[in-house]
Amino acid sequence: MISVISFGMAIISSPVRGVRQFFQTLVRKNRELGPRIFAWWWWRSVNRPHVLDSTYQDLLESLPEDAVGLDLGSGNSRIRPGAVTVDMEPYPNVDHVCDATKLPFPDNHFEYVWSNAVLEHVRYPWKVAAEIKRVLKPGGVAIIQTPFFESVHGWPEDYYRYTPNGLRALFEGLDEVASGTSAGPGQVLPDLIQFYLTGMVDLQQRGALLNLWSVFVGIWFVPIRYMDRILRNRPFFWKLSRAYYYVGRKPAN
């Protein structure tokens, strides 16, 4: 009798165990796929921030291929094949792991310094700016891009936001070559709407289902990103922008 009951329980428990394993796998996959969907949707799809004015990028591309340059805060990339990379973290492509307030290079060494979305993450940006100016050769250019209306990121190492005049103050002593809006208000509003309609959760830390909901919500607001090109000359446009750039040249004397 006992063996019959045990056999019956085994039959019942087998599909129950299978269902439980199925849902456990589903939950695990949901957690694993969430960050992947987030990375694609926010940084590689049509929902990514659109560059409005690429002058700063064009100036970099116009430099000679053999120009000696510094990619400051490079992360796991290199802005040009011959650029020297510096970062606080030992990523595979980093040539020098160091503090940007104490760069291990002689005075007047580089023909350009590239710094993209880095200065908001340094505790003493005025010291970093002074180092950039120090290591630039006379006639060399500092190419800087920083956020303004952008969410806190890289927390807790996120300290500042910069206006165009803030960047001019940091790089006082350089001759301004160009400055402007690299990303306009149309790169801010869709972000806010998506985070409101997903309950202001940290999507990067959530699963696939919530991130797919963000994609569904966000796809309706992608056209707003393209409106920057229509509204770019309106008087208040630049004051609500997502990011600005500044390019300055070190005087020859």
Alpha carbon distance 188, 129 (integer Å): 27
Which two tokens mark 89?
């973290």
pLDDT for position 112 = 98
Kind plus residue range of the DSSP H or E element containing 113: strand 110-116
Query: Looking at the domain 35-249, which fold is it?
Result: Rossmann fold (3.40.50)
Longest dimension (CA), the chain: 101
Which residue shows structure tokens 């020098």?
Answer: 96
HSE of 103, CA atoms in CB hemisphere, 13 A: 27
* Residue 229: burial class (beta carbons within 10 Å; 0-12, 13-18, 19+): exposed
Note the pLDDT of residue 30: 75
pLDDT at 13: 56
Can you list the residues of the chain whose pLDDT is less than 70?
1-27
Which tokens is 62 given? 């116009």
CB 242 within 8 A of CB 149: yes
What confidence score (pLDDT) does residue 7 get? 42
Q: How far apart are CA 98 and CA 147, in angstroms?
A: 23
Give strand pairing partners of 170. Answer: none
Residue 69 bridge partners (DSSP): 112
3-state secondary structure of 49: coil
Q: Length of the chain in residues, anyone? A: 253
Condensed to tens digits (0 to 9), the pLDDT of residues 127-179 reads 999 999 999 999 999 999 999 999 999 999 999 999 999 999 999 999 999 99
Q: What is the pLDDT of residues 93-103, one digit of tens each?
A: 999 999 999 99
What dihedral angle (degrees, nearest 10) is formed by the CA atoms of 41, 148, 70, 246? 130
> Alpha-carbon distance 126 to 122, whole Å?
9
Q: What is the predicted pLDDT for the residue at 14? A: 59
What is the pLDDT at residue 11?
Answer: 47
